[in-house]
Structures are given as C-alpha cells and as structure tokens.
Amino acid sequence: MRKKAVVLLSGGIDSATTLYLAKSKKFSPVALIFDYGQRHGKEVGFAKRIAKRAGCPYKVIRLPFSWKGSSLLDRSKRIPSGVAPGRKTGIPSTYVPARNLIFLSIATSFAESIKAGALFIGAHTQDYSGYPDCRKRFFDLFKKVITSGTKDGKHIRICAPLVNKNKKEIIKLGRRLKVPFNLTWSCYKGGRVPCGTCDSCCFRARAFKELGISDE
C-alpha cells in the first residue's frame, strides 16, 4: 500500500488534527498549505508552524483569487459575528466559491506526481453545516471524478476522517493525538489575538468550554 499522503493544512484545529491522525495511521504526510488571498495571511504562518512541529514536509501553493464573492476574501464585506449558537441555516457569506473543489483538484495533481495513496481533508459538517463542499456526498463524488479523469486517481483515497464529528469530538481526538492547539488559528479576522466574536471563534470557544478544558 502506498504510504505517502497529501494533507490539506489550513492552520486551524481541524486540519491540524487531521494531519496528526494521518501520522497516527502510519502515513508519511506531505502538507499542502494554500495562500489564496484570505483577508489575512495569518493562517499560512500557523499552518507552517504546525507542519514543522509535526515533522512534516510542506508546500505552500499561492492562488491568486482575484474575484470576489466571499466575505473571507473581500475586505469590503462584513464577517458575520456572534451567531454561533443559533445561526440561521444556509450558506454563510464566508463561503468561497468552489474552494475545496479547487484545493482537492490541485492536491490530486500533486498526489499523482508524488505517487501518494491518500489525500486527507479536515472538513466536517457539524458546525459549519452551510458549506456544500464539506459533505460526505461531495467527497464521494470527487473520488469518482478522479478515478475517471486522472491517470492515477484510482489509487488515491479521499479521506475526510472528521466528516461526521463535531468540534468537541475533534478537540477530544486532537488531545489524544497531542495536537499542538496553541499553534492553531481559527479566527476569520487577522488581528494580533483572535476576535472572539466571528463564527469560527465562537464555535471554538464553545467547544472548549463544553469540554471543560482551557484553550491555550
């Protein structure tokens, strides 16, 4: 079985836990870090530090996304805040058009070129349930696409091990795997410290609180 794995690493808790999970399954991971015109480059620095701590080689891919349409890319749009406990359903404004599809496509190309046997993504549906590209059905269809449309895709497993977990379960798993949470960054904004009010900060804070552990 091929032991190399490509892991999408964003600098947050989910992808860091996924990286450590891939390691625990005896894969030799290579991290792909995307610098895609986020409002702030902070995530990229955190992702690099996590990869280094994990002893994992990494590659930063710059994608010049110059089109608008997401509050994560467009500074003129407001990041939604304070809505974690009861946010309306639907796709949030932080959705970036086809982001995971693009990331997975590039990761597939890279996986083909290094003969990796698996591609790990830390997506999950429990919290950010509005993102259509975080669902199991999407990953299953993506696997079919690469099996049909690439030279090597039939040998590449798409692994989304967190897809049915919620944030609490992910943090519990991450603690067991000794993920360095202090090196992760969740906030959608790029301040010196997390804002504490965006969706992503709220989900994180609530999960740590419910687990009764401190986030530091």
**Binding residues for a copy of itself (CB under 8 A):** 59, 61-69, 91, 95-102, 104-106, 108-110, 112-114, 132-133, 135, 137-138, 141-142, 144-146, 148-153
Residue 24 or 147: the one with the smaller Cβ distance to a copy of itself is 147
| Amino acid found at 15 | S
Token code pair at residue 4: 């190399």
The CA-atom distances, in angstroms, between 83 and each of 79, 103, 154, 215 are 11, 27, 41, 20
Burial of 111 (0-12, 13-18, 19+ CB in 10 A): buried
Nearest-approach distance from CB 142 to a copy of itself, in angstroms: 6
Nearest-approach distance from CB 216 to a copy of itself, in angstroms: 35
Residue 115 or 209: the one with the smaller Cβ distance to a copy of itself is 115
The CA-atom distances, in angstroms, between 122 and each of 64, 150, 161 are 23, 23, 7
Nearest-approach distance from CB 91 to a copy of itself, in angstroms: 5
Residue 117 or 174: the one with the smaller Cβ distance to a copy of itself is 117
CA distance 149 to 147: 6
Rg (CA), the chain: 16
Residue 2 or 110: the one with the smaller Cβ distance to a copy of itself is 110
Cβ-proximal residues to 147 (8 Å cutoff; 6+ apart), any chain: 153, 154
Nearest-approach distance from CB 143 to a copy of itself, in angstroms: 10
Residue 154 or 209: the one with the smaller Cβ distance to a copy of itself is 154
Nearest-approach distance from CB 180 to a copy of itself, in angstroms: 28
